[in-house]
Amino acid sequence: MLYRQVYEYVVNQIERGDWNAGEKLPSVRQLALELDVNRLTVFKAYQHLKQEGKVEVKEKSGYYVASRHKPQVESDDSERHWKNKLSEIQRKPAIYQFSTAIIDPNLLPNLFLSDYVKQVFDIYPKLMGTYSTAQGDEELREHLSRYMVRKHRLQLTASELLITSGAQQAIDLIARTYIRPMDAIMVERPTYSAALDVFRAYGARFFAVDITPEGYDLEKVEQVMKQHRPRFFYMNPTFHNPTGYTVPSAQRKQLVELAERYRCLLIEDDAFNDMYFDQPPPPPLFSYDTEGWVVYIRSFCKYVAPGLRICAVMGRKSVIQPLISSKSLADNGTPLVNQKIFLHYFESDRMQQHLKKLRIALQIRRDIMEEELIQAQAPDWQWVSPKGGLYLWIKLPDGFPVTPYLDECLRQSVSFIPGTICDPMNAIDDRIRLCFSFVNESQLREGVRRLVTIARHF
């Protein structure tokens, strides 16, 4: 599929107007050298572009952008480079929402938070008239760094922490800081699809390693690092989205050692760390990092307040400094009001009480979803029961037609995420992700029954 990425790269250049109609394209040899790929790969991409009329061949001269080709900055075709496939599905209305990775707002501390809204305006009367620094409110960074030191026994100071507007912004800042078009990056297969969409938009080339209930194949990880020198490995090793798997403790230290040996950053996205059911998860990879090869993203959006969009990015100075510069270019700082409200709630006793109750509520919803799937005798559906997080990752029978099934489910007001969009290769076509955290318990039962009934017709 590598040629497809070269193809996308060329199309992107043409549509942004970097390469104009009638202009000569780099030769196969030149482009292969530039992108560090095989000449045959470039040749195949050029052949496809020729067949589609996007490029023309002039004998003994080379390849040219087709003369009738106009840059199409606003066209649907160019938009595909800036698409968030996940949010497109999530936008579709459905009563039985199993696609949205959100916790039911009834389980979140909305009422308590409004108390803190009043409180922070009393404490900081000029709050609305003040910018945050680009790095984030110092008081919040101090508090979060102490919290991380206590909780995970790691070394961290407030200066090694950056506040972003959600993990989504952190992913975007990392991509814009580290990815140049056609750079190799390593990702899990499957993975969080909106991260793939961001990396794709910046022109990254994917090398994927499977994630399984036992973690990764470390030999494969090492081989990719050694052979392709990826800029980073983006991973979600704890209650992984979409599978719910957790990379075992024993692999974590080894992964950091591999990162050090091959000078490959590990981007550890840890959005679900606190959402465990029985046992807390193993320590983050970041807790093993002494040399600055891990960037740790810890979002608090999911289980405190999605509306406040508070996320902390942590790392040694060498990685945090460039990200602060990118953050400053992006928006000059996350709104200070949000940071202060979050801080005052987060440091209160209510926060820990909320987490305890939330874990129980989420576990109950997971159990209900599993129970209903078993009772409805979903034909040959298989999954590994998650020990935390928000999803079931279901294996459907081979050859099951997921796309028409999703269309019919949406028509009948049930939504889910198809596995293909979580796959860097777009090929996992026998899996779906069902989120159990958003709808209430009776909707959960009804929705699962409907999902299974519809499946019987395929």
d(CA 291, CA 262): 12
Binding positions for ligand PLP, 215-274, rule CB under 6 A = 236, 241, 269, 271
Q: Which is nearer to ligand PLP, 190 or 230 (CB)?
A: 190
Q: Which is nearer to ligand PLP, 15 or 268 (CB)?
A: 268
Q: Confirm or reject binding of residue 192 to ligand PLP (CB under 6 A).
A: yes
Q: Which is nearer to ligand PLP, 87 or 133 (CB)?
A: 87
Q: Which is nearer to ligand PLP, 310 or 414 (CB)?
A: 310
- Report the SS3 class of residue 149: helix
What pairs with residue 97 in β-bridges?
415
Least Å distance, CB 355 to ligand PLP, is: 17
CB under 8 Å to 50, separation ≥6 — which residues? 56, 57, 63
Least Å distance, CB 358 to ligand PLP, is: 16
Least Å distance, CB 251 to ligand PLP, is: 18
Among 97, 299, 415, 437, binds ligand PLP (CB under 6 A): 299
Question: CA 422, 287, 268: angle at the middle one, nearest 5?
Answer: 15
- Site map 159..178 versus ligand PLP, x via CB under 6 A: -------xxx----------
- Site map 125..164 versus ligand PLP, x via CB under 6 A: ----------------------------------------
In this chain, which residue has its C-beta nearest to ligand PLP?
166
- Report the SS3 class of residue 452: helix
Instruction: Give me 139's structure tokens.
Output: 């008081």
Least Å distance, CB 197 to ligand PLP, is: 12
Among 187, 269, 195, CA closest to 230: 187
CB-CB contact of 215 with 243 (8 Å) = no
Residue identified by tokens 């509306």 is: 307
Among 275, 301, 421, 444, binds ligand PLP (CB under 6 A): 301
Q: Confirm or reject binding of residue 56 to ligand PLP (CB under 6 A).
A: no
- The end-to-end CA distance of the chain, in Å, is 30
Please tell me what DSSP assigns to residue 370.
Answer: H
Binding positions for ligand PLP, 317-376, rule CB under 6 A = none
d(CA 317, CA 292): 8
Least Å distance, CB 275 to ligand PLP, is: 11
- Report the SS3 class of residue 155: coil
Q: Confirm or reject binding of residue 437 to ligand PLP (CB under 6 A).
A: no
Q: Which is nearer to ligand PLP, 19 or 234 (CB)?
A: 234
Among 372, 374, 365, CA closest to 438: 365
Q: Which is nearer to ligand PLP, 194 or 324 (CB)?
A: 194
CB under 8 Å to 453, separation ≥6 — which residues? 376
Q: Which is nearer to ligand PLP, 89 or 311 (CB)?
A: 311
Least Å distance, CB 141 to ligand PLP, is: 17
Radius of gyration of the chain (CA): 23
Least Å distance, CB 192 to ligand PLP, is: 4
- Tell me the HSE value of 110 on the side-chain side, using a 13 A CA sphere: 7
Task: Count residues binding ligand PLP (CB under 6 A).
Answer: 12
DSSP one-letter string for 156-198: --GGGEEEEEHHHHHHHHHHHHH--TT-EEEEEES--HHHHHH
Binding footprint of ligand PLP on the chain (CB under 6 A)? 101, 166-168, 192, 236, 241, 269, 271, 299, 301, 311
